[in-house]
Amino acid sequence: MNILGHFKTITSHKLLVMKYCFACGLYKQGLLHDLSKYSPVEFIPGCRYYQGNRSPNEIERMEKGYSAAWLHHKGRNKHHLEYWIDYTPTGGHCMDGMKMPLRYVCEMVCDRVAASQIYLKEKYTDASAWEYYDRSRGHYLLHPDTRVLLEQLLQMVRDEGQDKTFAYIRALVKTHSDYGAAAPASQKGE
């Protein structure tokens, strides 16, 4: 078990996400981000399966066939798209992604950028978060509006950098309580 290594990794990640959330004007989310990682159900497997270069949840999943830590985490942290998977309201017992509130999509971007930096270290580029998402986007259950916004923001990090993207998110969060009510200018074709 690598208690110190895991503690340093999750704390470094949390502090980096907090910095990015603050840059986006998401102060409460920055403070509360990933606190569940310090709970025993997540922290103990994190120490046991710690690798330092990828999520311990992947290793737990390979060993046990599932990750109890991940199941706990995604059910308590609204910035994960998996939190928003539910049965469709139209019936038919089909599951799909529900529309995520703007602030959680923005926190997800901060989370993905920070996770890429923590795990990739010196190999990180502003394209890393997009590349990680792009490898799996075909199987994600996402509401169409959520997908458009998430992809727009991750591509913006890739193409224009973090500072410009976080400033854009800050303005977006300030002017739109829900991105369905008023789409960002770039989505309106302006």
> What is the pLDDT at residue 54?
85
CA 53 to chain centre: 17
> What is the pLDDT at residue 187?
44
| Residues of the chain under the 50 pLDDT cut | 181-190
> What is the pLDDT at residue 91?
76
Q: Is 38 helix (H, G, I), strand (E, B) or coil?
A: helix
> What is the pLDDT at residue 178?
63
> What is the pLDDT at residue 179?
60
Please state, in angstroms and rounded to a whole number, the distance separating the CA atoms of residues 48 and 63: 11
